[in-house]
Structure 1
């Protein structure tokens, strides 16, 4: 019998919870993993999903220890555990890679977000990003003091580190039908236009155009 898990609904009133089956939880992890993998920027932290999945993995491993030796189902459960672990570790690695690559912009966006806006970073990721930035600044200052003239010893990381390329193109699948999505022209000769996206349809489109839809869960990157 499947055990249901309670996941806080960040888009609703404080204290509300969404009750998920283990299968629904793993589906949410897969969506978060693929979105993070294919989005050019760091997305909102899904730390609650990560914590629930880790709890579920522990529960599954405990069940395996109690299973009868020789049961054919054991190998299938082992494969499922490894699949979930792969998605979870790949999701976390993708996020760490983006934090390292875009750290000043990630921290600046986190600092400027509204009080009611969801956090980009988990507490652990925020601590990592701050430490990474401090270490980078210390290294650059050390190099600049030894090799650069005084007027070039100040380094502005926000200008030196490239931003995420939001104009890159991504593949997506529509979960909820969308109407009148404004698409920016690719050349100066073209004018803006709108498109409708039916539920279940797939598209190749500029990420900037659909970034809010990824954040809201209306579309999934694939």
Structure 2
């Protein structure tokens, strides 16, 4: 399997090893799997992994029949493909579940000049899903209702992701003075320190920026 250029390459074009690339994919997969909201896409990693799979399969075609190492490599390809497919499927499921909020967030990113957290394909899928949903609702229900009830705010009708969900996390980089929100009005806010390598169970909203920055990973 060949090395791949990092998506954060400098003038010397940093290169990451195959093992590092797969580790990045697995990290993105677990973060997406356990995060209640849709995270920023990792399309660069996805494309690079797909290239690596092609290289691995080409190498397998040159292997001798009955080679035990070839069977091991085939199992590894299947494992990587499973993680990749699960990552992409998880993102699509979240888009389907929260599509109006996903599009609203995407619109805010565009207005504020921030990088899109959807791929072009995901953006097209979300917009088409919105149009199809609205058309379906109008056809089977809304057009049969009184005129004053024929309009529905899809943004209010579809629940938002619950950012107060509790998640397990592993700390990659030490973090000091993390503000923990109280569960009730009677409790007071307090701060905690995250030691590198430590694991915690905490409200997602509290550590969402750390997930985005890569300082912590969900598990």
Q: Which position in structure 2 is the counterpart of 1:87?
A: 83
Shift of residue 172 of structure 1?
0.2
8 Å contact from structure 1 (residues 168, 207) kept in 2: yes
Structure 1 runs (4+) greater than 6 angstroms displaced: none
Q: Which position in structure 2 is the counterpart of 1:157?
A: 154
RMSD: 1.6
Which whole-Å CA distance do the structure 1 matches of 2:147 and 2:210 have between them?
47
Q: TM-score, normalised by structure 2?
A: 0.95
| 3-state SS, counterpart of residue 8 of structure 1 | coil
Unaligned 5+ segments in structure 2 are none
Q: Which position in structure 2 is the counterpart of 1:67?
A: 63
The correspondence for 2:118, drawn from 121, 132, 135, is 121
Number of residue pairs matched?
A: 218
Which whole-Å CA distance do the structure 2 matches of 1:32 and 1:18 have between them?
20
Q: Which position in structure 2 is the counterpart of 1:31?
A: 27
Q: CA offsets per residue over residues 8-31 of structure 1, 9 Å max, x none?
A: 22xx88x88542111100000000
Which whole-Å CA distance do the structure 1 matches of 2:142 and 2:37 have between them?
33
Shift of residue 104 of structure 1?
0.3
Q: Which position in structure 2 is the counterpart of 1:8?
A: 7
Which whole-Å CA distance do the structure 2 matches of 1:37 and 1:50 have between them?
15
Unaligned 5+ segments in structure 1 are none
Q: Is residue 216 of structure 1 aligned with residue 213 of structure 2?
A: yes
Q: CA offsets per residue over residues 81-121 of structure 1, 9 Å max, x none?
A: 01001000000010000000000000000001155523211
